[in-house]
Chains A and B, each alone.
Chain A
Amino acid sequence: MSDAILKVDNLKTWFYTRRGTVKAVNGMSYSLNKGECLCLVGESGCGKSVSALSLLRLFDSPPGRIVEGHVLYKGVDLVNCTPGHLRSVRGKDIALVFQNAQAALNPVFSIEDQMLEQIKVHYDINNRAAIAKAQTLLEEMMIPAPERALKMYPHQMSGGMKQRAMIAMSLSCDPEILIADEPTTAVDVTIRAQIMHIFRRLKTSRNMSIIFITHDLSLVREIGDRVAVVYAGKVVELAPVAKIMEEPAHPYTRGLISCLPDISSNLNRLPSIPGNTPNPLDLPPGCAFHPRCSMAMNICSSNEPFLTGIADDHMVACHLYNARAGENK
Chain B
Amino acid sequence: MSELKEQTRKKARLSVYFNKRLASYYWERLKKHKLAMAGLGFIGFLILLAVLGPFFTQDPTYSDFNIANMPPLGFSRQESVYDIKTDEFTTTVISGRLDHPLGTDSKGRDMLSMLISGARISLLVGLIATGIAIFIGSLIGVLSAYLGGWVDNVLMRFTDIMMTFPFFLLLVLIVFLFGPSLAIIVVVIGLTGWTGAARLIRSEALSLRTRDFITASRALGASDGRVMFNHLIPNVASLIIVMSTLSIPGVIMAEAALSFIGMGDPLSTSWGTILNAGQHTLDTAWWVAVEPGIMLFLTVLSFNFFGDGLRDAFDPRAII
Contacts and interface: CB of A to CB of B under 8 A. Distances in A.
A95 B235 contact: no
A88 interface: yes
A96 interface: yes
Contacts of B216: 96, 98, 104-105, 166, 169
A113 B12 contact: yes
Contacts of A113: 12, 15-16
Given A103-B212, A103-B213, A105-B216, A127 B226 contact: no
Contacts of B230: 117
Nearest to B21: A153
Interface in B1-52: 1-2, 4-5, 8-9, 12, 15-16
B74 interface: no
A116 interface: yes
Interface string A107-145: 111000100111011101111000000000000000000
Contacts of B5: 124-127
Nearest to B232: A106
A90 B219 CA distance: 5
Given A62-B148, A116-B12, A106 B217 contact: yes
A79 B33 CA distance: 55
A108 B240 CA distance: 15
Interface residues of B, number: 30
Contact of B221 (A92, A105, A116): A92
Contacts of B223: 87
Interface residues of A, number: 38
Contacts of B226: 117, 121
A28 B48 CA distance: 68
Contact of B218 (A90, A100, A103, A125): A90
A98 B221 CA distance: 15
Contact of B220 (A60, A103, A118, A125): A118
B219 A58 contact: yes
Given A103-B211, A116-B12, A122 B4 contact: no
Contacts of A172: 220
A122 B218 CA distance: 13
B231 A106 contact: yes
A105 B1 contact: no
B222 interface: yes
B234 interface: yes
B215 interface: yes
B168 to A, nearest CB: 38
B220 A91 contact: yes
B148 A169 contact: no
Given A104-B213, A105-B213, A113-B16, A96 B219 contact: yes
B221 A87 contact: yes
A95 B222 CA distance: 12
Interface in A158-180: 166, 169-170, 172-173
B166 interface: no
A56 interface: yes
A122 B16 CA distance: 19
A56 B216 CA distance: 11
Contacts of A103: 211-213
Interface of A: 53, 56, 58, 60, 62, 87-92, 95-96, 98, 100, 103-109, 113, 116-118, 120-122, 124-127, 166, 169-170, 172-173
Given A90-B219, A104-B215, A127-B8, 17 more contacts: A53-B215, A88-B221, A90-B221, A91-B220, A91-B222, A95-B220, A100-B212, A107-B235, A113-B12, A118-B217, A118-B220, A118-B221, A122-B221, A127-B9, A170-B219, A173-B220, A173-B221
For the complex of A and B, list the 5 residue pairs with the smallest distance between their C-beta atoms, beginning with the closest.
A91-B221, A91-B220, A127-B8, A103-B212, A104-B212
14 contacts: A58-B215, A60-B148, A96-B220, A98-B215, A103-B212, A103-B213, A107-B213, A113-B12, A117-B226, A118-B222, A120-B9, A166-B216, A169-B216, A170-B219
